[in-house]
Structure 1
């Protein structure tokens, strides 16, 4: 464990000059950046970019035809089984390669995963690399691993990945996230994490890394040399204590790509912003999100079971004018009672929303635990509950003023199934690390703000603050 003050002990760089150089390198580079997001929270650092909620040839071609440097494809693969994510990533890889060949536009794929290291790694990047290698006839040179995400308090120092709790940096392997039933792990040192997750196929001592010291020293030549030295899908860990560290790394990365080196990426949201040289934007105001008043209330759905979410939900209860409904998710074990519970909650929601009352619906706070449970069974049950939760929005006959979804799987299902979004525009962030979509014309409720609130982001009062902004309440 480290004192968070360590983050301020590194020498400061001239970030403005570095940003200007990064923007120049990004403009000169001709690759389209295709970001695969394993849940909708990955757009939490960008703005004015498109998110496609399917990976059809047609959607990917539209993304390639955009003027923007990058676009997102929402896969929601963190909620997939191994078989499902295998099929999806092989199909995505083939469609991206096909569009690239037909348009003559080169590409790189960024696999945007969880900043606390949960997800189908290394499966997803290995599948994508396999397809790319098949089409190009030569190996992908390296894989870049960078889970830095400052807005969520995720930093990598001396190759150890940390999660910030208060004024302490806790090694990721010692947090609740490492105990995830489906995607758990032990190692906090990312070199050891690679060895653990690859079953020893890649040894920790063979994983290269770029230190914060090298980045603060703007050692472009040295970092570029390390990147050029990668071969046969070799791994490289990027340390980062601040966004400027990633700006320096991405300049070196563009240098290496300019020499023909090809890479795959497993990163958190912080990397995507810098790789695409996305500009800073202030946090969104209510007027930028909520248009003309519909006279209806907004709806908040809470599915995440993290301790952080539960404490944020308790703080939200201090906001006046919100009605709270507990959805008895434990009834998932009884199909008839579960269906009746869904119907009852929807009736109550519609009554309140129609009267202009904002509603917060939340699942049981204690995760259902069964004897002799398996990770696959737990995942299937979780998906069933999430499907019911999204229906609490998707079956509404009243258009809400706004929708907030708390939790990765919950927010994906609400966006794609309940709101039926095919393409959304990322407006920006309502609070640090909390993105806002503007729903497309094809969606169930066109043009409303959809706030995607990750389960593991923010302080105790952050959900309360975000909802207060949406409701026009003084903070």
Structure 2
């Protein structure tokens, strides 16, 4: 093992990390207990948290009526897409406050209690501790204290796991402590600690010291079981953080069972997690990827609005905004399959107020023309230029990212106002969030499953211009180099 006081370590095989751990402890999915408990409400700082689960509602709007609709659905939980990772700090805080206010009113009217999950990045990027602090304040103002903040960033399928409180990330060469990954160098949310206890101290600016962070280890989970985990949880107080080891779903099932028991005993928690915890907390297990047959059934279940007069295309639209190296490699592999036409949004032009609108409209017009053309069977890729432009600081970098994303989404909006693509893929966290809300005007949807094992979610929009169009939420930091090409091949097979 390593922590951040040791030199950079060489990648190690996953099997080496797991070799000496105690055997897994199976306690089941705890679904009956989950359905009898509080409704899980996952406030998702980008839409990619849905990529580990199936058949849960998703809200991109959080009026009281929207929250009441979601609470009426016979599910263990639902997502609210906050997109706060793309916002300035003050705006992110205010958005969390707005959602809690609406949710609490809806909960009162529907008589359905809830527990809050702040879903963020499995590679530790995002507004921590801001978001959990704000949620705790809002709950306190409504008479509910917070005993502990459960920190579980694990995302099992792409290889983000935690052992002895050290968070690891899988790369082609093997497993590395997450602070050695490209994601730790994020312009807005970078960090230097792989040990989650040190990470909490780092992110809180020393307000919470490493020694004040509780830990639930693999030994606690697998040897002590739910009783030992609940014992640790019972010692939490005043919003104390507790970091959770995870290498597989079974580990999380043990932790969830202990949490449910602790909540039944009167304790209250806020969760700050990656995608895998959401799956466990809603009583789900990994499901097979969606194939062509299942995709056809999903599309047939949501026919287009009869008032919709737009022409339909047999080809898809792929919007790429993510700039991480993995996305660039995935785009290269998609190019290798052929049958795509690329249109580029030039980032320097997008940042020029005098040229921006004309550039967006020109690209959108050409994309709509190509989608309706009989001269080609190619899908259309609209992408930003690949050179990343950073700001002078983290806030300035966010402003640039937001501006570029807005232009890309505006292009998508103009395209779909003229033609119905056969499918829409959005690549990148901010890109997929903004495409859903602003590009496709999705207000309520269902997440129907994954396009690859445990990653890349398919949304079924409930109404609006995207009804009947498969929408694929594809994070920038997941999958192997072939992942984008594989997903597009499945979509083309329908």
TM-score range, shorter chain: over 0.9
User: Cα distance, 1:295 vs. partner?
Assistant: 4.3
- In the TM superposition, residue 457 of structure 1 has moved relative to its aligned partner by 0.2
Aligned equivalent of 1:80:
87
Select between 93-102 and 303-312 the one with higher mean Cα deviation. 93-102
| Number of the residue aligned with 1:151 | 157
Structure-1 residue corresponding to 2:209: 203
Q: More deviation in 430-439 or 352-361?
A: 352-361
**Corresponding residue number in structure 2 for 1:25:** 33
Map of 1:51 onto structure 2: 58
Which of the numbers 406, 410, 430 marks the counterpart of 1:391?
410
d(CA) in 2 for partners of 1:164 and 1:234?
Answer: 29
User: Are residues 1:128 and 2:135 paired?
Assistant: yes
Match of 2:361 among 329, 333, 343: 343
CA distance change for structure 1 residues 470 and 5 in 2, over 3 Å: closer, same or farther? Answer: same
Equivalent residues in 2 for 1:190-339, closer than 5 Å:
190-217=196-223, 219-290=225-296, 291=299, 294-339=312-357
Deviation for aligned residue 1:7: 4.7
Tell me if structure 2 keeps the 8 A contact 1:418–1:444.
no
Alpha-carbon distance between aligned partners in 2 of 1:445 and 1:277, rounded to the nearest angstrom: 29
CA positional deviation for 1:98: 2.4
Give, in whole Å, the separation in 2 of the partners of 1:445 and 1:101: 32
- The alpha carbon displacement at 1:36 in A equals 0.4
Cα distance in structure 2, aligned partners of 1:464 and 1:215: 38
1:182 matches 2:204: no
- Please say if residues 25 and 222 of structure 2, whose CA atoms lie closer than 8 Å, have aligned partners that are also in contact: no
Residues 98-133 of structure 1: per-residue CA shift (max 9 Å, x gap) = 233333322100000011111111111111111111
The size of the alignment, in residue pairs, is: 465
Quote how far apart the aligned CAs of 1:246 are: 0.5
Tell me the TM-score normalised to structure 2 length: 0.91
Does residue 437 of structure 2 align to residue 416 of structure 1? yes
Task: Indicate the residue corresponding to 1:375 in structure 2.
Answer: 394
Q: Is the 8 A contact 2:340 2:381 kept in 1?
A: yes
Match of 1:113 in 2: 120
User: How many angstroms apart in 2 are the aligned matches of 1:295 and 1:180?
Assistant: 37
Distance 1:472 1:61 in 2: 37
Partner of 1:6: 16
State yes or no: 1:64 paired with 2:40: no
Which of the numbers 93, 109, 114 marks the counterpart of 2:100?
Answer: 93
CA contact (8 A) 2:221 2:228 kept: no
Between the aligned partners of 1:139 and 1:264, the Cα distance in structure 2 is 10
Q: CA RMSD in A?
A: 1.7
In structure 2, what is the Cα distance between the partners aligned to 1:104 and 1:469?
42
CA contact (8 A) 1:162 1:188 kept: yes
Deviation at 1:427, TM superposition (A): 1.1
Q: Calculate the TM-score normalised by the size of structure 1.
A: 0.94
Q: In 2, distance between residues paired with 1:8 and 1:178?
A: 24
The structure-2 alpha-carbon separation of the partners of 1:446 and 1:101, relative to structure 1 and needing over 3 Å to count, comes to: closer
Structure 2 Cα separation of the partners of residues 368 and 326 of structure 1: 16
> Any conservation in 2 of the 1:297–1:352 contact (CA below 8 Å)?
no
Name the SS for the 1:383 alignment partner: helix
Consecutive unaligned residues of structure 2, counting only runs of 5 or more, are 1-8, 301-310
Cα deviation digits, residues 145-172 of structure 1 (max 9, x gap): 0000012221111111111012421111
